Chains A and B, each alone.
Chain A
Amino acid sequence: MEATIASDSNGNNWSGGNKKPLDASYGKLMMWFFILSDALTFSGFLAAYGLMRFKFIDSWPIADDVFTHFPFLHGVDAPMFYVALMTFVLIFSSVTMVLAVDAGHQMKKSKVTFYMLLTIIGGIIFLGSQAWEWKQFIQGSYGAMQLKDGKIIQFVNASGHQVTLESFSKPLNSERVQHTKSNGIWYVKEASLPPFTVNEVIEGFKAHPELTIRTEQINPETKEKIIIPRKDAMAYLAEGKAIVKGANLAVNEYGNTLFADFFFFITGFHGFHVFSGILINIIIFFNVIIGTYERRGSYEMVEKVGLYWHFVDLVWVFVFTFFYLV
């Protein structure tokens, strides 16, 4: 009886011979099938986002009102610029990745090393930018009031621009202090209190006749949020339940909480993909340096991790469109 021996040590062949199905090595084919299934996962998430968005099509937050920050430009309304920058960073790290693959085909070790390094740096910059974007979103920009039925009311001035709560609220020296473990029941925690109480905001609103409010509802003609005339505004404020600053999984000053939930979940899931991509890139980077692939005679491993990295870029292209553009 003849023993079956794996004759190939470089892992590029399927068992049973040198004939490759679809002319692709085992690893590459499996990477493609993984990418296919991961693409379907992301489509599931984005489709769920689409479902909720169409469900609340007449009141969904407008991205240009939400993502308006840019580093070192405080108070400047700069929608889109920051996320465009992030997109460029990711596309560019994709370019350096494909250059590394290209150099690998020509067996140029030093070039592969250099481009892999650039790719890793690009990925880290992207992740850092993502963290900054999250920070801005969590901290919020203007603050808003939540009504008893959960709807969000934002404050605007005569020209229709949003104003911060700080700019008009009247401090009333309310006696409510935050419950902390050191001054209350030790096993009860309380989230930090919003900067103002509902009463302080209402009193401040009364004292500033130029202010009015806008609801989440979108005017289908102008595709902008509907501004309520000041004479009707007090009826809304009387329903006020809480003051909201920033966004989290439970409440969102920009409007529907689902928007924040999907934003955190989908960009978070994508960010986790970027993170694992960076880790795999680092492992491959050191393998390149110690000459593993030079000895193996093929840089196909760089190509496979490259496939994953481009896929992460591909997903970002869609996330960018559906969260920021459409």
Chain B
Amino acid sequence: MTHTQEHTSHTKLIWKVFAILSVITMVEVVLGIIKPASLHLTHFLGTSILNIIFLILTLVKAYYITWFFMHMADEKKSLRRAVVWTALFLIAYLATLILIEGSYINDVLGPLTKWNY
């Protein structure tokens, strides 16, 4: 099955993925320039809703690049899981611990910083 697939052209799919990536990037840029107050000036999960939206859009882009540009979709499930789950688990683990720690340092040091002279 993969043999026949390899010889048919995927050009249509490639351009479709390009369109999706472009649209997501444009949405990000527009949101980044406007910074709507209703999303930007909020507090949610230690940051703003706008930042969470950026993060989700970034992960969607990463998914499309990995699955369709790097052809992860055509690989064996075992290979896919060996690479993707390892990366996702380790990165999420690292980021969670380190960002919580950063917040904590700010809680301790922030009040000690002098801002008026």
Task: Show the binding face of A for B, using Cβ within 8 Å.
Answer: 22-24, 29, 32-33, 35-36, 39-40, 43-44, 47-48, 50-59, 64, 79-81, 84, 87-88, 91-92, 94-95, 97-99, 101-102, 105-106, 147, 149, 215, 217, 221-223, 226, 232, 235-236, 238-239, 303, 306-307, 310-311, 313-314, 317-318, 320-321, 324-326
**7 A-B contacts, Cβ less than 8 Å apart?**
A50-B99, A79-B33, A84-B29, A88-B22, A306-B70, A325-B32, A325-B54
Given A47-B95, A87-B25, are A102 and B102 neighbors across the interface (CB < 8 Å)?
no
Are A91 and B22 closer than 8 Å at their CB atoms?
A: yes
Task: Kindly state the separation between the CA atoms of A106 and B5 in the bound complex, as whole angstroms.
Answer: 10
Closest Cβ neighbor of A32 among chain B residues: B83
B109 contacts A by Cβ under 8 Å? yes
- From A22, A55, A236, A326, give the contact of B102 (CB < 8 A): A55
- Chain B positions 80 through 111: 1 when the CB is less than 8 Å from some CB of chain A, otherwise 0: 00110011001100110011011101100110
Interface of B is mostly: helix
Given A88-B22, A321-B54, A326-B55, are A54 and B106 neighbors across the interface (CB < 8 Å)?
yes
Residues of B within 8 A of A81 (CB): 29
Task: Give B117 Cβ to nearest chain A Cβ, in Å.
Answer: 5
Are B14 and A102 closer than 8 Å at their CB atoms?
A: yes
Given A23-B75, A54-B99, A87-B25, are A223 and B41 neighbors across the interface (CB < 8 Å)?
yes
Given A22-B79, A217-B115, are A317 and B106 neighbors across the interface (CB < 8 Å)?
no
Closest Cβ neighbor of A47 among chain B residues: B98
Residues of A within 8 A of B106 (CB): 54-58
Task: Kindly state the separation between the CA atoms of A325 and B32 in the bound complex, as whole angstroms.
Answer: 6
Residues of B within 8 A of A310 (CB): 65-66, 69-70
Task: Give B74 Cβ to nearest chain A Cβ, in Å.
Answer: 10
Given A24-B75, A47-B95, A57-B106, are A149 and B65 neighbors across the interface (CB < 8 Å)?
no
- From A55, A226, A303, A318, give the contact of B109 (CB < 8 A): A55
Task: Kindly state the separation between the CA atoms of A173 and B15 in the bound complex, as whole angstroms.
Answer: 62
Closest Cβ neighbor of B100 among chain A residues: A54
Are B76 and A55 closer than 8 Å at their CB atoms?
A: no
B38 contacts A by Cβ under 8 Å? no
Task: Kindly state the separation between the CA atoms of A326 and B45 in the bound complex, as whole angstroms.
Answer: 14
Task: Kindly state the separation between the CA atoms of A92 and B87 in the bound complex, as whole angstroms.
Answer: 25
Closest Cβ neighbor of B97 among chain A residues: A47
Residues of B within 8 A of A303 (CB): 71
